[in-house]
Structure 1
Amino acid sequence: MKLGIMQPYLFPYTQQFRHIQQCEQWIVFDTPKYTRKSWINRNRIANPTKEWCYISAPVMKGATTGAISDAVLADTGWRKDFVDQLRVYESKAPFYTETVQLVKACLFMNNKVPTIADLNTHTLKVLCQHLGIDTKITRLSEMNLDLPMHAEPGEWAYMISKELGANIYSNASGGRHLFDPDLYESNGISLEFYEPIPLEFSTPGFSFVPDLSVIDTLMWIGKDNLSQWCKE
């Protein structure tokens, strides 16, 4: 079984979905400490005057000292503001309407006040289903695994892989320096690194900026084209 692991990011960048497509199981790593002003609660979309701007999901101030899984979203009506920010695409992006409907399906959950991990995991599952990606997605905080309280960054993936019986672990190539290949290989786990491939597309009225949120990609190229790219 090929396993991938990543913290829960808010509408993550497009390469993550191609990485998920290549794995059989994906673990949402929501047990580390929540980090303010990170990809966990914000991301970037295009902007016609300043290339890009942030979109964010605010977390309650008192909930920023614990684990990601415990960080409660603010109940301030921010979801409407989030959707309103996407209007910059309205007259330019060919897939604006369907993408906004998809974003709404992600944001307006039935939970009373979900955590950021609830939102980001729900979003990841909705987006994967939209793109035809059937990888199993599970939150680490909801799994009964025998793991220590603390470990080095490159060791978590090894221990989770071992607990789940994975024989291949795939990590984003940017984290290569964190891993000891001998630790994995000596325990029967092949260590792989996902290498991104370029994805460029026309953005009339905007400057093309790589690695924005998947929202941006869906606005310009739509579900079918992105789904096909993820399978390459």
Structure 2
Amino acid sequence: MKLGIMQPYFFPYAQQFRHIAQCDQWIVFDTVKFSRKSWTSRNRVANRDTEWGYISVPVAKGATNGTIAQAEIGQTDWRSTFFNQLRSYETVAPYYLQTIGILRNCIEADVDTLGTLNTRILRTIASSLGIQTEIKRLSEMELELPTAAEPGEWALIISKQMGASVYSNAPGGRHLFDSDRYLKNGVTLEFYEPAPLEYPTVGLPFVPDLAVIDTLMWLGRDGVSQFVLS
């Protein structure tokens, strides 16, 4: 069984969905401390005036004292702001309406924590793209985990308890991992290899590695599905 583990980003880029599709199981690592300067509560989309701009979800005061799973969403009308920030795509992106429909399914449910919201985003978009990978939240699993571990050790500890034979990590952070240590524990360590992804845009700049929202706007659900399942 190939396992992937990652903190739950707010609308991660298309490459992450391709990574998820290559795994048998994916664990949402939502038990780590929430940070306001991370991708868990914000991401980037194209902007006509400034090349790109942030989209975000407000998180309640004091959230940095707890985990991503515990971080409460701020009580504001953030969804209206979110959709307004995507209006730059409305008259130029061929799959604007289709994408907005997918996004409504992602964020219009009544959820109160960031961990729940971002997991719903992952599952909803993955399902829309035809990804069969099982997505689980670490905070909801009954694994026996230490209170602290080195960055490269968490994946090994979880992989062993999950019975994974292969652990697939994101492209970065190779220096944190000891492949020999993984092998000695019966786990093969792999790193996801991003595939080239560039597409034509009209009226807005192409910026690599924006939120998957941008890719959906220009390629549509079928086009993005073809990419992530390749």
| TM-score of the two chains, using structure 2 as the length reference | 0.98
Q: Give the equivalent residue in structure 2 for 1:123.
A: 121
Runs of 4 or more above 3 Å deviation? none
- 1:3–1:170 contact (8 Å) kept in structure 2: yes
Once structures 1 and 2 are overlaid, which stretch shifts more, 102-111 or 36-45?
Answer: 102-111
User: Residue 140 of structure 2 is aligned with which of 136, 142, 163?
Assistant: 142
Cα deviation, residue 32, structure 1 = 0.6
Residue correspondences, number? 230
Q: 1:174 maps to what in 2?
A: 172
- Written as runs of structure 1 = structure 2, the 5 A alignment for 1:16-165 is 16-111=16-111, 114-165=112-163
Cα distance in 2, alignment partners of residues 39 and 95 from structure 1: 25
RMSD of aligned Cα (Å): 0.7
Q: What SS does structure 2 have at the residue aligned with 1:205? A: coil
Query: 1: distance between equivalents of 2:207 and 2:213?
Result: 13
Q: Residues 13 and 214 of structure 1 are in contact (CA less than 8 Å); yes or no, is this contact kept in structure 2?
A: yes
Question: In the aligned structure 2, how far is the partner of 1:47 from the partner of 1:54?
Answer: 9
Does the 8 Å contact 1:59/1:73 carry over to 2? yes
- The Cα shift of 1:136 comes to 0.3
Show CA shifts across 1:151-175 (max 9, x none): 0000000000000000000001212
How far, CA to CA, are the matches of 1:16 and 1:68 in structure 2?
Answer: 19
Q: CA deviation at 1:230?
A: 1.0
Match for 1:105: what amino acid?
N
Mapped partners of 1:220, 1:87: distance in 2? 14
Partner of residue 211, structure 1:
209
Kindly provide the CA deviation profile for residues 125-149 of structure 1, in whole angstroms up to 9, marking residues without a partner as x: 0000000001000000000001100
Q: CA deviation at 1:63?
A: 2.0
Alignment counterpart, residue 198 of structure 2, candidates 196, 200, 216: 200
Deviation, structure 1 residue 84: 1.2
1:101 offset after TM fit, Å? 1.2
Distance 2:85 2:195 in 1: 28
Could you tell me whether the CA contact under 8 Å between 1:83 and 1:104 is conserved in 2? no
SS at match of 1:97: helix
CA distance in 2, matches of 1:163, 1:192: 18
Q: Deviations over 1:21-57 (max 9, x none)?
A: 0000000000010011210000000001111000000
Distance, in Å, in 2 between the alignment partners of 1:49 and 1:147 is 47
Q: Which runs of 5+ in 2 are unaligned?
A: none
